[in-house]
């Protein structure tokens, strides 16, 4: 069964460093998402991406964040200068055209020290 | 804007007992409703969804949920739980139409005891 994959599973970085979180969505899916979950809190929407552009972003997704689909398979989230409060689990999700569920990857745990 | 309230942060229950996890939502537009489960150290897995049609929806692992529009609720039920059902359960809504970001509730931790 096709699944969303994410790498790395755990990333430790120092404050101020850039990180790139990688996702490989399901191959025939057209809509892509990033969510995050700070420890002990709810899952929060960051950004959605369709047709090679951002379709919606939350107030969390400020200028320090960017997304890219550099080729036909990868979908990345970049944080330019990480802060302590960026420590969280980051989930990638994708869905196909039309009404359908979002399929989530296993997440990347980002720890900023 | 949409919001989701899960009234119980934790629900302890004994194995083979029935369980109900409560979810209420608020929205001025039509929504679709979902329940996701998160097992320890894993991602989110869809349990079931309500898009339209019958208000009683059945999902995986013996779970079901009933959409109640008048009470704006979508409670999750299972008649007999197993130890393996111990996990975090998230209710979520999507505004019908558009690019459909999921709005999640805070989650309910179901702890099944022997």
Going residue by residue through chain A, which has 113 residues, state the pLDDT in tens, using 9 for 90 and above: 789 999 999 999 999 999 999 999 999 899 999 999 998 888 999 999 999 999 999 999 999 999 999 887 899 999 999 999 999 999 999 998 877 789 999 999 999 99
What is the count of residue pairs from A and B with beta carbons less than 8 Å apart? 53
Name the residue among B103, B104, B91 with its Cα closest to residue B59: B91
As a residue count, chain A comes to 113
Contact B109, B19 (CB under 8 A): no
Chain B residues touching A103 at Cβ < 8 A: 46
What pLDDT is recorded for position A100? 73
Q: By CA distance, what is A49's nearest residue in B?
A: B99
What pLDDT is recorded for position B99? 59
Residues 6+ apart with CB under 8 A from A8: A22, A108
Task: Name every residue in A having a CB less than 8 A away from some CB of B.
Answer: 4, 31, 33, 35, 41-45, 48, 50, 55-56, 58, 91, 93, 95, 99, 101-107
Vertex A34, ends A43 and A94: CA angle to 5°? 110
Fill in the DSSP letter of residue B97: S
Q: Measured between CB atoms, which of B96, B102, B107 is closest to A102? A: B102
Quote the percentage of chain B above a pLDDT of 90: 79
- Give the gyration radius of chain B's Cα atoms: 14
């Amino acid at each position: 069964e096709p699944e969303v994959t994410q790498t790395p599973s755990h990333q430790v970085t120092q404050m101020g460093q850039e990180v790139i979180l990688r996702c490989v969505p399901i191959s025939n899916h057209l809509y892509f998402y990033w969510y995050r979950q700070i420890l002990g809190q709810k899952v929060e929407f960051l950004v959605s991406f369709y047709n090679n552009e951002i379709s919606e972003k939350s107030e969390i997704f400020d200028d320090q964040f960017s997304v890219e689909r550099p080729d036909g398979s990868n979908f990345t989230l970049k944080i330019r200068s990480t802060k302590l409060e960026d420590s969280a689990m980051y989930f990638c999700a994708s869905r196909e055209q039309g009404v359908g569920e979002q399929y989530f990857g296993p997440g990347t745990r980002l720890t900023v020290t | 804007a949409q919001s989701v309230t899960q009234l119980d942060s934790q629900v302890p229950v004994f194995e083979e007992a029935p369980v109900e996890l409560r979810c209420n939502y608020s929205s001025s537009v039509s929504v679709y409703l979902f329940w996701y489960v998160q097992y320890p150290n894993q991602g989110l897995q869809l349990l079931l969804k309500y898009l339209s049609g019958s208000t009683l929806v059945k999902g995986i692992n013996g779970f079901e949920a009933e959409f109640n529009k008048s009470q704006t609720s979508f409670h999750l039920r299972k008649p007999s739980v197993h130890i393996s059902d111990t996990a975090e359960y998230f209710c979520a809504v999507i505004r019908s139409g558009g690019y459909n970001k999921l709005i999640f509730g805070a989650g309910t931790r179901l702890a099944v005891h022997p």
